[in-house]
Structure 1
Amino acid sequence: MHTLLLILGLAATAGMVNAAPVTPPVQNQNLPNANDVYFSSVNYAGSGCPISPPSAVVTFAPDKTSFTVLFDQFVARTGPGVSYSEQRKNCQLTISVHVPGGWQYSIASADFRGYANLEDGVTGRQQSIYYFQGDQYTTVTQALIKGPTQDNYSFRDQIVLTSTSWSPCGEERPLNINTAILVNSRKKGASGELTTDSVDGKVVQEYQFQWKKCRSPLASAEAVPDPDAGI
């Protein structure tokens, strides 16, 4: 089942200090090139991915240009006796990306997989909000699953998202993905459950990156003639 739900109101939690940090293991043979763009860490926090005890596992590709998050508590439910708080679960991913000086970056795609068990009259909904920390611009995606159904699901978000301004040289600006899943019933007594098993993220430099070379302060100083030279 592929479901990612993000709510605009969650954007304020982007700087969550209690998020559980997950950093790729350091292996000399797999160290990315410092001149490349790659994921350096993924933090998570939310009702669908509690940080204590850890409820998600993050794995990185050897070149750090993609990652997968596996959840074990990202489940939304509805039905007789189920509390309202169980009908909506969320998880926020804060993704740190290594960016060489002068580069912008964006995420190319996100894949979601899980399982839907929805009776007639029950709808599962996924919404995702992608935004760069410090930017007001957001990209929102949404998917619906209608009951009756009992099946695995898979969705892909193709993201065309670039920062609204060039990142300052030497600055690494995090990307935030606010996710949530909701289950609603329009039929009295109907039950349903929606789960999210994994979220895959990939970086595609060929399509999603723009770059420009930073000017060295020293080089700039040397390029400017000294007005007092020769006096």
Structure 2
Amino acid sequence: MALSMIFAPVSAPDSAPPSGPVTVNVVTVNGSGCPAGTAAVAVASDNSAFTVTYSQYLAQAGPQSAPTDIRKNCQLSLRVHVPQGFTYAIAEADYRGFADLHSGASGMEQANYYFQGTSPTARVPHRFSGPFFNDWETVDRTDVAALVFAPCGVDRNLNVNTELRVAAGTSDPSTTSFMTMDSTDGSVNTIYRFAWKEC
């Protein structure tokens, strides 16, 4: 089915977000990277973006790890309510965290998102190689021509899927490497930046 049949027509992108209230509520949360109560969502005061903060999102490989620890994922279903007469797309997603990857180890972050009833966006893997001991950040951007907007006047959940993987590779078998997408103090978070249109 063509996108033009799925989505109501919208005008050219509006340069400014709507002034009315925008809310983002977590409907469901699933995945080993975000046990219940460990993911929080907040909308920027200027309606330009919303953030997701995790507190237990960690993948690791090494002697201190369980076999299932090498891959962690999180699937959020979000209800985004926007002022009447507006619709939105996700123009950019910024993912952040911390990694301690020993020499020979590797890590990977990837994500996608989609509106309920539509096809997911492509997953773009972002890879890191040890030795690496630092904060990390990746950015997924969507060209203006490729933006997928929520249907006008219809509530459709926004589904956000993220994943972290860590592989021990040829690293010293006595060491543990890890990669997080979490923040205990709220200073590190994932940012989803809106693009706005009038319906």
TM over 0.5: yes
Structure of higher CA gyration radius? 1
**Residue among 192, 195, 209 paired with 2:177:** 192
> May I ask how many residue pairs the two structures share in their alignment?
171
Q: 1:100 to 1:70 in 2, by over 3 A?
A: closer
**Residue among 30, 41, 46 paired with 1:45:** 30
**Residue among 180, 201, 218 paired with 2:192:** 201
Secondary structure of 2:68's match? helix
Paired letter, 1:193: F
* CA-based RMSD: 2.6
Higher helix share: 1
Residues 128-157 of structure 1 deviation map (CA, whole Å, 9 limit, x = unaligned): 112121012523222011001111111221
Alignment of 1:1-231 (within 5 A): 33=20, 38-43=22-27, 44-51=29-36, 54-99=37-82, 104-160=87-143, 162-163=147-148, 167=151, 170-187=153-170, 189=173, 190-197=175-182, 198-205=189-196, 209=197, 211-212=198-199
Question: Residues 91 and 147 of structure 2 are in contact (CA less than 8 Å); yes or no, is this contact kept in structure 1?
Answer: no
TM-score of the aligned structures, taking structure 2 as reference length? 0.74
Secondary structure of 1:85's match? helix
Deviation at 1:196, TM superposition (A): 0.6
CA distance in 1, matches of 2:167, 2:128: 11
Deviation at 1:56, TM superposition (A): 2.4
CA distance in 1, matches of 2:155, 2:30: 21
Q: 1:81 to 1:115 in 2, by over 3 A?
A: closer
TM-score of the aligned structures, taking structure 1 as reference length? 0.65
Which residue number in structure 1 is paired with residue 10 of structure 2? none
Paired letter, 2:32: S
Question: Residues 105 and 162 of structure 1 are in contact (CA less than 8 Å); yes or no, is this contact kept in structure 2?
Answer: no
Higher strand share: 2
**Structure 1: runs of 5+ lacking an equivalent:** 1-30, 213-231
Paired letter, 1:46: G
CA distance in 2, matches of 1:151, 1:40: 31
Paired letter, 2:24: S
Question: Residues 114 and 121 of structure 2 are in contact (CA less than 8 Å); yes or no, is this contact kept in structure 1?
Answer: yes
